[in-house]
Every structure is written in structure tokens, then in C-alpha cells.
Amino acid sequence: MSKQFCNDFKNDVLFKYLLYDDLDPDCIFMLKLFIENILNIKCHQITVLNPDLNPKYVNDKDMVLDIKVKTTNGDIIDIEMQNSTFSKSHYYRFQQYGATLLASQKEKGKDYTETAHPVYQIIFIDDIDKDNLKLIDTYRSINDEGMVEKYNLTTRSYVQLPYINIIRKQKGLKRMTGIEVALYIFKNGIDNDIIGLTDQGVINIMKKKLEKFNEEAELRDMYYKRDLNRAANKSEKQEIYEKGKAEGRIEGELKRTVDLIEARYGIREEEWVLSLNIKQLKTIDKIIFKEEEYQMFKQLIEKISE
């Protein structure tokens, strides 16, 4: 197992370790910090529904933290927290997760008003949507006038972590709020500038959590396996993308050759062109306008070997 120091809170294992234990005052402090400041909700009671840090979940597509909150008003709400990235696929997935969580509340024989609780999603993204330059980008169901739908049940907030560095330049670390400092650490880690701020409770908690995490060999191993899994998935996606581009170029070149032969000789030979090797295909451009007769042209190409 690796003994290298783990320090990236964007890693799903360390992220969950920071927040997973609703019996730990430090975890509750951090949960309240994120929930109350990102969602503008006052928490009375917080329950983490999936607190397990199990090695078998390291390869899961997403490691999501599911939370149930009782507000100071007595309302019950469901919250889902996770790290992720921006992509069309992920936007679809976030919306489907929210809809699934909402649908799972329905109980047979009970009225919707008895079982339906608002669903909130907090998604930490190490990227910025160039069309929405802000730290916290929140979406709800609204009408054409921008009014939120009555009894709205779904709210989704994207926390765009790179934007915290803009806030740091504007305000300076010493003037940043607790939530801003926490998000700065999420983005940049506990760097030398952060270590110098000793009066911030959030810094002390995150430093303590980091030290305890690194004392556990199994947690460190999960951390690095999660990183490797993410890197492998990213590499595989890039490989598929490059392969698709290459296949697209080849397909385009074959179609161009078929069209060229048809334009020259009035014969469309798709199957024949597909049967040719690379050397034969490259030779077509060189001789197609030198040979008037199609059958002679075809014989010349077929005589060419690899």
C-alpha cells in the first residue's frame, strides 16, 4: 500500500471521509457549513444515509453522499452530495439522479403530500461553465417570468471550484468566509498560505481530518485506487474518442474514393473499395485520371499487392 500523503479533498474517498459520520461533531460542522451556505437551509438535524467507507465501492461510477435533513422549520429534505465533472452525459445523469431520488419517496397507498420531500443536489465541479461565471450556480423549476414553481421539489447547485481562486484574488484569504476557505482547500489543498491562518475553525478541522485519514493504510489504499480508477476511465474515454476520430477519417476517405470512381466511370463500387488494402487505396488517386477504361483501371489496382 502506498505511504504517499493523501491531500486532495476532490478525491471521492477523502471527500466522503470528511463528511460521512453524523456522530462526529467535526463531520456535522462541515456538513452544516456546506448545506447552510450553499443551499441557504438551516439544519436542525442531519442524518447520513450511506456512511459506509467500503473498498468494494471504490470502482463505482460515482460515490454519492446521501443525507436527510430536518430543518429548523421542521421540514424534511433529502440531499445528495458528490464530486463530478461537466459533460452532456453528466448533466443528464444529475437530473436523472434527482428524479430517481424524488420518485423513490412515493409510498403505495399514501398521498404525495405525505411522502414527498424536497430534493437538493450539491455537486462539486473542478471546472467552470463559461456561460455562468459564479461560485455557486443553482437551478430550480421556474416559469417564464423567473418565479419559482409552487411547492418546487428539486433544486440543483453546482459549486464551480476554480472560481474560488477569483474570490481569493478579490478578497484575500484573511477576509474569506468559512465556506469560501473550505472550498479554497477543496480546490488547492492545504497550502502554505492556508497553514498561516490559525484562527479559522474550518482549517483546523480539515487539517485534523487529513492527518487522521493518512494514518489509515486501508483508506490511503482506497484513495489511490480511486485515483487510478478515475485516471483509467479518463484515458479509456480519450482512447475511444481518438479511435472514433480516426474511424471517422477513414470512413470519410472511403466515401470520397467511392464518389470519385462513380464520378469518373459512372459505376458505384462500395464493396470493391472496402476490399482494397491501404496501398491500393492510395494508388487510386494517382492513376484514376490516366486510365480511360474502368475495367483496365480496376485490373491495375487489383495487381497492386501490400
With cell 482506497, the residue in question is 222
> Distances from the Cα of 220 to the Cαs of 11, 75, 224, 228, 280, in angstroms?
11, 38, 6, 12, 55
Q: Residue 302: its pLDDT value, please?
A: 87
Amino acid at 301: I
Q: Look at residue 198 in the predicted model and tell me its pLDDT.
A: 64
- pLDDT value of position 195: 81
Determine the pLDDT at residue 96. 87
What pLDDT is recorded for position 21? 94
pLDDT the model gives residue 186: 94
pLDDT one-digit tens code per residue, 10-31: 998 999 999 999 999 999 999 9
Q: How far is CA 105 from CA 44, 98, 120, 121, 151, in A?
A: 21, 11, 14, 16, 16
What's the pLDDT score for residue 1?
42
* pLDDT, tens digit (0-9, with 9 covering 90-100), for 278-300: 788 888 888 888 888 888 888 88
Q: Which residues contact 16 (CB under 8 A, 6 or more apart)?
A: 53, 63, 65
Taking the C-alpha atoms of residue 191 and residue 165, their distance in angstroms, rounded to an integer, is 13
| Gap between the Cα atoms of 191 and 184, Å rounded | 10
CA-nearest of 51, 22, 58 to 232 is 58
Indicate the pTM of the whole model.
Answer: 0.72
Return the C-alpha cell found at 59. 470502482
The stretches in the chain having pLDDT less than 70 are 1-3, 56-62, 198-199, 230-250, 306
Map residue 123 onto helix, strand or coil: strand
Question: Of 111, 112, 92, which is closest to residue 153 (Cα–Cα)?
Answer: 112
Reading the block at residue 53, the C-alpha cell is 467507507
Write out the three cell numbers for 67. 443525507
pLDDT score, position 163? 93
Round to whole Å and give the CA distance between 138 and 127: 15
Query: Side chain identity at 39, as an amino acid letter?
Result: L
Write down the pLDDT at residue 290: 82
